[in-house]
Each structure stands twice: as structure tokens, then as C-alpha cells.
Structure 1
């Protein structure tokens, strides 16, 4: 089992807040890894929000491969932040030699292209870099997108935080939206790509649980989009379906829940929208998920979502105050970062419910 959590704040917060949310839940994970995605960045990245940010971990040879590729394609580096890591002995971390976070200017021919063309460029660039680094085991590229930073590592979450100095809030690394998970993907091979959260074209998702329809989801998704690759974790299916429903089909967010956990046929028959629900189930039945899970997602516009499986077999709770909301697998996480909140207002989403947190921290509850 793993534990997941997220922070949404009106003012930028440091990753240490997400760490304090996650570590009280330590008995629910196995100390095999830590990963986070930060969106709506401030600090050292605050002046580069419109410039795509490349997040990667690699070898020195990998750095050179990336440099050569980006130069060849016309990307111009405009900023870089390299973590000042703490290499003290005894830390339980399988560190990569180099960690790089770079902002680039778009190639000149793309500076006046449509947003859709730029999105495709960033996706194709990330996929190309991934293939390039995979060839000689030279590293991992996690995201290439404006105003998004991704960090993933294998080891003890507390030691990973020490290594990257994530306990030290010096104001350089902050964001208004953070998704985090403590645990590597130990159901399959332990690789950095398997660690949640997962990211694709502005969509971020992490999950706690299992998807017993993994093979069915995977085989169908492979045919839907070139960006649906890897499948190092069964939870990647949840991200790809989120992306497909919202980005490719351009459906309202409420339909995501209908796709992954469709209502029973006997209930659908009684509804005025039954024809729509029947068509969704008929056309996208291979995107249905099964098994115990809880999901937290982050959309390109900054909204955050949360939902559970159709039997509510994994815990999830939302709580907060006027300045910050948090979603956590366990309430002890909320107690750690929001001790003065009104706990009576905490929300435990049920099996038919989708929570949507707007950018003003208003919480909308939608029922199937």
C-alpha cells in the first residue's frame, strides 16, 4: 500500500509542507521512494512561468545528450536550477549523478504557433528525450511543461528530503500546488518512472491502490495516443484516462468518474441521462477501473480533483482553512500541516463522489 497527498494554497508553499503531510502516514508505506509534482511555481522559477521547464535526472553523458538534442531542435536555455544536494554518508537513497531543472525558450519557429502546436512540441520533445536517455541507461525525463517541476527518487522519503535539502525553506523552491507520494512502485520493477505522481501535458495524478483491469486498460490506451507509454505502474492508466477524457474528448470533468467507475446498469436505466451514460460505457468500457484505489489529480488550469473507487476501499480526506487545503490518505496528515483547521468541516468523499477544488479554494462536490 502507499500514501498520497496534495497541497493547494493561495500563497506559495515549500515542499517541506508536503513532506510534513506525508510522513505521519509512514506506517502506510514502505519507505521505498518519494516523488512530487509542483505546479504554479514561485521562487527561482517565478519569472519563467511561460517558459517550458525540463525536469530530469541523469548521468553526465545524459546531460550531454540532452544538451545536443535541445540545441539541434532550436530550444534556448534561459534559466537553470541545480539542487545543492547533501551527500552525507548513510542516507538511504539511490541517487542519480545529476539533477537538472531548466527553463527553455521555444524554438523560434514555434514562438507564434498555436497553444495546441506548442503542446504537441513539448510532448514530442519529452518522448524523444526519454528514448534518447533510455538507450544507454543515461537517465530519466519526467516532465517538460511550463510552470511544472517533477522530482522522483528511490529511497527513504526522509533521507531523500535531506539529500535535496527539502527541509530547508529558503524560498527558492515553492509552489501553490503540490502532489506527493511516499513509496516506489513495488508491485512491479522499481524504476523511477513508476513513482507517482504521473504527468502528461499539464495533467498530474497520483493514486493509492490497485487496478485489476490494468491489462485491459493498457491494451486499449496504447491505441489512443502516442503519449500513453511506459505502463510501469497500473496507476498510470488513471492519468491516461483523465487526459483522454478531458484533453482529447474535451468532456466536462464530471464524466471522468462515469468512465472509470460507471454506475450499475440497473441504476442507469432509471436516470434521465441514461442514453449518454450507456454510450459512455459502450464506447469506453475498456477504460473502466477495478480494485481498491483513491485518486488525486491536478488539471492544467490549477484545479485539483479527488475521488475513490466504486466501493470506497481506500481512505481519502480533504480539509483546510481560508489559505490552504490539503488532501490526504489519512487524517493524521491533515493534523500535521493544518492543526488549527475546523476538523468538523473535513470531507471524506464517498464512492460516488468527485471533489473539485477551484483556484479560490472553493470545494465543489459532484455526485454520479
Structure 2
């Protein structure tokens, strides 16, 4: 089983704060791996490189050379990079890799004249190209290529990996939004691309659970002809793509996400104020309906963070915090470790109809039920 922990903060904080919370929940995960998504970056990424796409991944020496040639051929010029090649032996069970990298690029001439949609599709395609380039020899592993985003994935105990990579030492990777998951893909062969969180065009999510409707959902998403709806080494990656599809392609508020994942029954819809609209969503997106149990934590391009449960409600989840910082956790002990001085009476554990949201201002917890009327812009 996985354990999830996420932080959303008004000011950049160390990713080790989230990893420490995972460590407190260690009895609930097997310590086989860690995945991190860092957004709302501080340091130089915020002060000097705002808007520059950042490539994050793991590379051998030959992989870095091929990466440099590829990006140059596409008109991208490196502006700033964090390159970390460990000189010590990795923790037990962690392979010897090469260089862990986050590289910010100056975009080519004419880039800013492209629409945001075209820019996004090009960045996603470049990520997929580089991933394919590295598949045969394992010299290139790319987890994200997007502005204000760094992703880190590795096999091994989360706390040991965090210390091994010295994640507390470099304030340029401190972030306002941190998603952290503790567990590798132990159902099948270990593959870093199968490690949560998953990311596409500003939308990231991670899941604790099992998605038995994976195959029909994957096939439906692949049929949409959207760049990036591919790969799927994990059944949980579809949750990220459904959130992306809901918000970026259908143009809906994240409060409609639950209506796509787990629509209300016809009886429940009968007296709903948005019954006609929700019936249309239910009918048109029926192939995206999930089967659980699942708890999903994610973050959006606007800096919002959210949590939802499916109808089985068999995976734990709790949200709590104080003005300026909030945590989303699989267990209350993780929340206690990260934000011990919060008012615990204001913690919220979502049930099967609920969506929990904390906005980028980190002022308060907002909740909504599928029984509520949807926002007017829908």
C-alpha cells in the first residue's frame, strides 16, 4: 500500500518536510521508493527564470551529451541547471544512476508567439521524445519538462533517498507545492516512470489505491488524440490525465472532477440543481468512471491543491493546517509531524461525495459535495 503526503505553502519550503511526514507513516508503505513533484519553486527559478521550461530527470554522461544536442537542435538554450552526481554509495537497494538534473531553458525565437496550447503540446512531445531516446540504453530518464516544475523519482527508502540527494541543502528546489509518495511500483517490474506523482501540463496527482477500471479508461484517453496521453506504466496515471482532461480540455472547474470519476446515480441526480448538465457529463464521460478504492491528491496549474475519495472510501485521507500552510495526508500522524501547531478541530476527512481544495493563497480549506450546485462558470 502507498502513503501520500502533500504540502501547499505560501512560502517555499524544503521537500524534506514532506519526506519526514512520509517517514512517520512508514508502517503504511514498504519503503521501496519515493516520488516528488515540486511546483511554486523559490530561489533562482523564481527570481530569474520565471516562465522558463525546466527539464527534470536522471542522466548518464552520454545521456547528458545527447540531451544537449537534442535541445540545441530544437533551439533551447540552457540558462541554469542543478546537476547532482552523488559521490557516495547509494542506499541499500538503490541503483547507481548518474546525474540527477533540473535544467531551465531559454525558449527559441518565436516561441512566445505560439498559443499556450501549442507551447504545451510541444513541451510534452519533447519530453516523450527524450523518454523514447533513453529507453534502449537507460541513459536518459525524463519525468517533466514544464515551467516551475521539478520531479524527482527514485527506488529506495524515502528518507534515505532524501538525505542521499541532499534535498534539504539546496534552497533553489524549495517549493510552495510538494507532492510526495512513498512506494515504488511493486505490483510489477520496478519502473521509475510508474512511480507517483504523475504530471502533464501543470496538472499533477498521486493515488493510494487500485484502479480496476484501468484498461477501458486508458483506451478511452488514448482515443482522444491528446499529446501525452500515453505510457501508462501505472494504473494510477489515468487519474492525472482525467484531471487534465476535465480542467484543460473540457474547461471545467476541479469541483466537477468527482462527477467525472464517480458520477451520482440517476436517483441522486433527480433533484440536483445541475441535473441536466451532470447527466450529460455522466453520459459523455462514462468511460472515465473509476472503480476503487482510491484516494487522490493533486495540484493544478493555478496553484490549487485538492483531495478526493471514490465511493468505496477504503483509503484514508485527511487535510489540515493553518494560515499559510496546509497538509494533505494519508494519515493524521503525517499531518501531526509536518504541521504540529495547527488547530486539529478544523481538520477535514473527505467522504465519498467530497472534494477538498486549498487555494494558492493557503488561507483556508474549502469543501464541496457532489450534491452541491456547481460553480456558475460551468
Specify the TM-score bucket, using the shorter chain as the normaliser: over 0.9
Q: Quote the residue 1:288 is aligned against.
A: 289
Distance across 2 between alignment mates of 1:86 and 1:13: 26
Distance across 2 between alignment mates of 1:97 and 1:20: 25
Q: Quote the residue 2:190 is aligned against.
A: 190
Deviations 1:133-171 (A, max 9, x none): 1233322100000110000001121221121012x3453
Distance across 2 between alignment mates of 1:10 and 1:70: 33
Distance across 2 between alignment mates of 1:197 and 1:7: 14
Distance across 1 between alignment mates of 2:369 and 2:87: 47
Indicate conservation of the 8 Å contact 2:33/2:157, yes or no: yes
Indicate conservation of the 8 Å contact 1:305/1:356, yes or no: yes
The two structures, once aligned, show a CA RMSD in angstroms of 1.4
Please tell me whether residue 304 in structure 1 is matched to residue 302 in structure 2: no
Q: Quote the residue 2:131 is aligned against.
A: 130
Q: Quote the residue 2:21 is aligned against.
A: 21
Q: Quote the residue 1:36 is aligned against.
A: 36
Distance across 2 between alignment mates of 1:44 and 1:26: 33
Which secondary structure does the structure 2 equivalent of 1:256 belong to? helix
Q: Quote the residue 1:80 is aligned against.
A: 81
Which secondary structure does the structure 2 equivalent of 1:111 belong to? helix
Distance across 1 between alignment mates of 2:90 and 2:276: 62
**1:261: how far off?**
0.8
Q: Quote the residue 1:276 is aligned against.
A: 277
Q: What is the aligned length?
A: 367
Distance across 1 between alignment mates of 2:327 and 2:176: 11
Please tell me whether residue 364 in structure 1 is matched to residue 366 in structure 2: yes
Which secondary structure does the structure 2 equivalent of 1:325 belong to? strand
Q: TM-score, normalised by structure 1?
A: 0.96
Which secondary structure does the structure 2 equivalent of 1:82 belong to? strand
Deviations 1:278-336 (A, max 9, x none): 21111111101111110111001111111111121111001111221001000000111
**1:90: how far off?**
5.1
Stretches of 4+ aligned residues off by more than 3 angstroms: 88-92
Q: Quote the residue 1:10 is aligned against.
A: 10
Q: TM-score, normalised by structure 2?
A: 0.94
Which secondary structure does the structure 1 equivalent of 2:25 belong to? helix
Which secondary structure does the structure 1 equivalent of 2:154 belong to? strand
1:307-346 correspondence to structure 2 within 5 Å: 307-346=308-347
Indicate conservation of the 8 Å contact 2:20/2:159, yes or no: no
Which secondary structure does the structure 2 equivalent of 1:181 belong to? strand
Indicate conservation of the 8 Å contact 1:2/1:208, yes or no: yes
Q: Quote the residue 1:229 is aligned against.
A: 230
1:137-148 correspondence to structure 2 within 5 Å: 137-148=138-149
Indicate conservation of the 8 Å contact 1:30/1:183, yes or no: yes
Please tell me whether residue 239 in structure 1 is matched to residue 261 in structure 2: no
Which secondary structure does the structure 2 equivalent of 1:94 belong to? coil
Which secondary structure does the structure 1 equivalent of 2:171 belong to? coil
**1:86: how far off?**
5.3
Distance across 2 between alignment mates of 1:132 and 1:271: 50
Distance across 2 between alignment mates of 1:84 and 1:131: 23
1:147-296 correspondence to structure 2 within 5 Å: 147-166=148-167, 168-224=168-224, 225-296=226-297
Distance across 2 between alignment mates of 1:86 and 1:207: 33
**1:107: how far off?**
1.0
After superposition, the Cα gap between the structure-2 partners of 1:89 and 1:10, relative to the gap in structure 1 and judged at 3 Å, is closer
Give unmatched runs, 5+ long, in structure 2.
371-378
Distance across 1 between alignment mates of 2:3 and 2:240: 17
Indicate conservation of the 8 Å contact 2:49/2:104, yes or no: yes
Distance across 2 between alignment mates of 1:177 and 1:279: 34
Distance across 2 between alignment mates of 1:86 and 1:65: 23
Q: Quote the residue 1:101 is aligned against.
A: 102
Q: Quote the residue 2:373 is aligned against.
A: none
Deviations 1:212-270 (A, max 9, x none): 10111111111112311111111111011111111111112221110001112221223
After superposition, the Cα gap between the structure-2 partners of 1:366 and 1:159, relative to the gap in structure 1 and judged at 3 Å, is same
Distance across 2 between alignment mates of 1:44 and 1:19: 23
After superposition, the Cα gap between the structure-2 partners of 1:50 and 1:90, relative to the gap in structure 1 and judged at 3 Å, is closer
Distance across 1 between alignment mates of 2:91 and 2:368: 48
Indicate conservation of the 8 Å contact 1:91/1:163, yes or no: no
